[in-house]
Amino acid sequence: MSHKIAVVTGSNSGFGLLSSLELAQLGFKVIATMRDPDKGEELLLQAKKLGVEKSIEIQPLDVTSEVSIRAFSSRLIEISRVDILLNNAGFASGGFAEEVTIDEYRDQFETNVFGVMRITQVVLPYMRKQGEGKIINMSSISGRIGFPGLSPYVSSKHALEGYTESLRLELKPFGIAVHLIEPGSYQTNIWTSGKKVTPRSMQKCSPYYSYMKAINSEIQASEDTLGDPREIASIVREIALNKKKGFRIPVGKGVRLTLLLKTILPWSILENIILKKLGMKKSKEGRNSMSKAE
């Protein structure tokens, strides 16, 4: 594996950082990309502790920028090979559909969907020429089921899932494997510094203010039960070693149960479970209200 190349987007933290280290330990030359290369210090520090710092090459890449993509393409021309592409770069945008602007939706899609498409188009010619390769798209349970107050993120992950289904069918005849990892909630910064909530939903004058407070409270209350992100990096390792060949890989506490419930339960029951968990109920007038005092 010493001559194989892995490209990882969003590798300065979380799943991207840990997966980069796993791949480097397998003998891959890891092209670790991030918008700001100065944020790669932690990755290099961890790589040095593991003795794989020479296997990590940090490259600037903003997946939303055509200029940045072209500059990165020049580096790939020099390398002329890509064996694994891990599309990990992303962020979570929240807010209620009535209040989220189209520009905010567009920003979410630029990174989580179009960014994946851009970098995938760049690496595919190399994989086709090789007759082999692996593309791993980091999705989410939010790509399989909707949650209130997160429609920008949820819709971007649903779009990613559809794109990846088509991509897998298109590339299989060329010897290129495509995988979707669908994590639940993990100890990464996507729900802290990586989360963007439209300001309107956070203002007391918003009709959704109490609803957003309930959602944030639920997220905070579950912090102690968040999964270890190294579990996701281990999945990436298993894919690299051909130990996991499935297409969709749901992982995390309660994820498989949630997906099963969506499959077998009528939507009316499922939505009641979600709303009850958030302390919400439907009023007789059809408006959402808090079922418990604020």
- Cα distance between residue 158 and residue 262, in whole Å: 15
Please identify every residue annotated as catalytic. 153
Q: Are strands 29-34 and 56-60 parallel, antiparallel or unpaired?
A: parallel
Which of 66, 72, 1, 4 lies closest to 34 in space, CA to CA? 72
Buried b (16+ CB within 10 A) or exposed e, 94-121: bbbeebbeeebbebbbbbbbbbbebbbe
- Cα distance between residue 143 and residue 258, in whole Å: 12
- Where residue 259 falls (left for φ over 0; alpha for ψ -120 to 50; beta otherwise) is alpha
- Cα distance between residue 74 and residue 69, in whole Å: 9
Which of 44, 35, 42 lies closest to 64 in space, CA to CA? 35
